[in-house]
Amino acid sequence: MISVVILGAGNVATHLFKAFNKADSVSVIQWYNRNLESIKQFKHHVDITDDLSHLKHADVYIIAVSDDAIKALSRLLPFENKLVVHTSGSVNINDLDKKHKRGVLYPLQTFSKHADLDFSNVPICIETLDKKSYPLLKQLSKSISNITKKVNSDQRRVLHLAAVYVNNFTNQLYRIGHEITESKGAEFDLLKPLIMETAKKVQDISPYRAQTGPAKRHDKKTINKHLKLLENEHHKDVYKLLTKSIQLTHGRKKL
């Protein structure tokens, strides 16, 4: 049985707590947050505290607080030589105070506190500074996810950066789709099955192979029609740049 203390009470901490709670081989023995308000609803399921000096002995301490607060919080922990990990895609592993055995448990997914999510499909990227701590973190991760992967700091940073493209930027393209349809009295809802299918396609084939459409076909006529139809200058800029992007990938012609 691996004993765990969770620190922080945001999106990630909450999902981790729920996932570990379902795992047979892990026991969350304590949950810390700087204010008790957000975790007091769990007080019948776990010991909760807002006092670092009351932290219990555990095998692993998971710091799931805002990126900017990780460093300071790791310093304030009143013990040493225990495995302490953060959950961030971009924070340096060395930001953790060096009195600890240090590691990262980065769940590569987008979490919202109140949206349910099946953790077993969340890839967990793990890293430890000392080799000896690795098996413990691996075992811990495997208790909640089917996809665990050793990832070094460079790779983690790059995954986090790529995640901005496939999550934040993609979502913004959905938003532009929303703006374009609504502005002409068409229904964004009609695009939802296409959005799902677009994501589904690249689960099996590469984005390169999945590409279709006027940009890939270098179909100038349709591209010009589209640019004419767009009234918003910013939407036009996005159209032009991403058309160019597709054409850089598929052939040499430019807009």
Ligand X SMILES: NC(=O)c1ccc[n+]([C@@H]2O[C@H](COP(=O)([O-])OP(=O)(O)OC[C@H]3O[C@@H](n4cnc5c(N)ncnc54)[C@H](OP(=O)(O)O)[C@@H]3O)[C@@H](O)[C@H]2O)c1
| Interactions with ligand X, residue window 135-174 (CB under 6 A) | none
10 counts as binding ligand X under rule CB under 6 A: yes
Nearest CA-CA partner of 87 in 2, 166, 4: 4
Element holding 124 (H helix, E strand): strand 124-128
Element holding 66 (H helix, E strand): none
Comparing CB distances to a second copy, the nearer of 78 and 185 is 185
Site string for a second copy, 167-206 (x = CB under 8 A): xxxxxxxxxxxx-xx-xxxxxx-xxxxxxxxxxxxxx--x
Comparing CB distances to ligand X, the nearer of 9 and 55 is 9
Minimum CB–partner distance for residue 87 and a second copy (Å)? 15
Burial 189-216 (b: 16+ CB within 10 A, else e): eebeeeeeeeeeeeeeeeeeeeeeebbe
> Looking at the chain, how many residues does it have?
255
Residue sitting closest to ligand X (CB): 10
List the beta bridge partners of residue 5. Answer: 30, 61
* Binding-site member from 31, 111, 119, 239 for ligand X (CB under 6 A): 111
Binds 57: which of a second copy, ligand X, none (CB < 5-8 Å by kind): none
224 counts as binding a second copy under rule CB under 8 A: no
Structure token pair of residue 164: 């901005």
Structure token pair of residue 174: 């959905």
Comparing CB distances to a second copy, the nearer of 51 and 233 is 233
20 counts as binding ligand X under rule CB under 6 A: no
